[in-house]
Amino acid sequence: MKILVPVKRVVDANVKIRVKPDGSGVDTANVKMSMNPFDENALEEALRLREAGTATEVVIVTVGSEKSAETLRAGLAMGADRAIHVKTEAPRIEPLAVAKVLKAVIASEAPDLVILGKQAIDDDNNQTGQMLSALLGWPQATFASKIVIGAGTIDVTREVDGGHETLRLALPALVTADLRLNEPRYASLPNIMKAKKKPLDETSPETLGVDIAPRLTVLKTTEPAGRTAGIIVASAEELAAKLKQAGVL
């Protein structure tokens, strides 16, 4: 079984996000970038399936700038077998465009299973997996917290309100990963060194015949309003009075 894991380069989760002074977007200059954490879960799961002997090959793919190659190298260091870089310097690539590019990659790679992160922590769109499944006409299971492979099928447990739901999908299928799926491994230094020699193929949206022009316009980006400072109340009465004043009670 071959597994394809799409991965995205995003601003690292530990970085304090800063909006550009002119409100045109988030400032990413000189900011630390990493693989989207949910994509790490997706890749970790694929690697575990390969290590368990269920999968034979794990291929990662990204759509993005020159620099996104770093994210692919990080994925290769974690253990992916090879990588595909769909290179574009387009500043903004919407989920639908990414889904179309991935569909084109899947046409030639023919994986049995695609595992994506449930969403990217930069835009929080939570759309690419679902759109891709629709474009492919494949069954999908989102927010996976457990994956079990059967004969020609997979069972995916997902967290839903008030409990767990387990779906059985026929392969080929598409799954999006939640944080609870696993704890991703570290890339060890020897593996990072070896990853430099693993195959990384380049292509482009044009070569794949996909139009990635944005269809949405971003009007404005703003920072969330800061929280106002808390106060310390002396008594329960004062608390009640303040809450009434604030219209909470």
Partner 1 sequence: MTEPREEMEFDVVIVGAGPAGLSAAIRLKQISPDLSVLIVEKGAEVGSHVISGAVIDPSGLDALVPDWRERETPIKTAVTDDRFLWLTEKSAFPLPGFIMPPLMSNHGNYIVSLANVCKWLATEAEALGVDIYPGFAGAELLIEDGKVVGVATGDMGIEKSGEPGPNFARGMALKGKYVLLAEGVRGSLTKRAIAEFGLAKESDFQKYGIGFKEIWQVTDANHKPGLVQHTLGWPLQDSVGGGSYIYHLEDNQVAIGFVVHLNYKNPYLSPFDEFQRLKTHPAIKGTFEGAKRLSYGARAISEGGYQSIPQLAFPGGALVGDAAGFVNLPRIKGSHNAVLSGIVTAEHVAAALAAGRSGDTLADLDAALRAGPIGKDLHKVRNVKPLLSRFGTLLGMGLAGFDMWCNTLLGASLFGTLRHGKPDYATLEPAAQHQPIDYPKRDGVLTFDRLSSVFISGTNHEENQPPHLHVADLALQKSSELDIFAGPSTRYCPAGVYEWVDGSYVINAQNCVHCKTCDIKDPNQNIDWVPPEGGGGPNYINM
Residue 137 or 190: the one with the smaller Cβ distance to partner 1 is 190
Residue 57: which H helix or E strand, with range?
A: strand 57-64
Using rule CB under 8 A, residue 108 touches partner 1: no
| Angle in degrees, CA 221, 223, 229, rounded to 5 | 165
Least spacing, CB of residue 121 vs partner 1, in Å? 15
Using rule CB under 8 A, residue 52 touches partner 1: no
Using rule CB under 8 A, residue 225 touches partner 1: no
Residue 231 or 248: the one with the smaller Cβ distance to partner 1 is 231
Q: Stretches 88-96, 131-139, 157-165, 178-186: which one binds partner 1 (CB under 8 A)? A: 178-186
Using rule CB under 8 A, residue 193 touches partner 1: yes
Q: Strand, coil or helix: what is 216?
A: coil
- How many binding residues for partner 1 (CB under 8 A)? 18
Kindly give the residue spans of alpha helices, DSSP state H, lying in 153-216: 189-195
Residue 163 or 226: the one with the smaller Cβ distance to partner 1 is 226
Residue 15 or 135: the one with the smaller Cβ distance to partner 1 is 15
Measured in whole angstroms, the distance separating CA 105 from the mean position of its chain's CA atoms is 17
Using rule CB under 8 A, residue 21 touches partner 1: yes
Per the CB < 8 A criterion, the answer to whether 68 and 83 are in contact is: no
Indicate which single residue of 52, 160, 189, 219 sits in contact with partner 1 (rule: CB under 8 A).
Answer: 189
Residue 82 or 185: the one with the smaller Cβ distance to partner 1 is 185
Using rule CB under 8 A, residue 14 touches partner 1: yes
Which residues have a Cβ under 8 Å from the Cβ of 223 and sit 6 or more positions away?
17, 18, 19
Using rule CB under 8 A, residue 89 touches partner 1: no
Q: Minimal CA–CA distance to 47: which of 31, 60, 62?
A: 60
Query: Rounded to whole angstroms, how far apart are CA atoms 113 and 34?
Result: 24
Using rule CB under 8 A, residue 16 touches partner 1: yes
Kindly give the residue spans of alpha helices, DSSP state H, lying in the chain: 37-51, 69-78, 95-109, 128-136, 189-195, 236-245
198: DSSP letter: S
Indicate which single residue of 137, 152, 162, 190 sits in contact with partner 1 (rule: CB under 8 A).
Answer: 190
Q: Which residues bind partner 1 (CB under 8 A)?
A: 12, 14-16, 18, 21, 30-32, 183, 185-186, 188-190, 192-193, 229
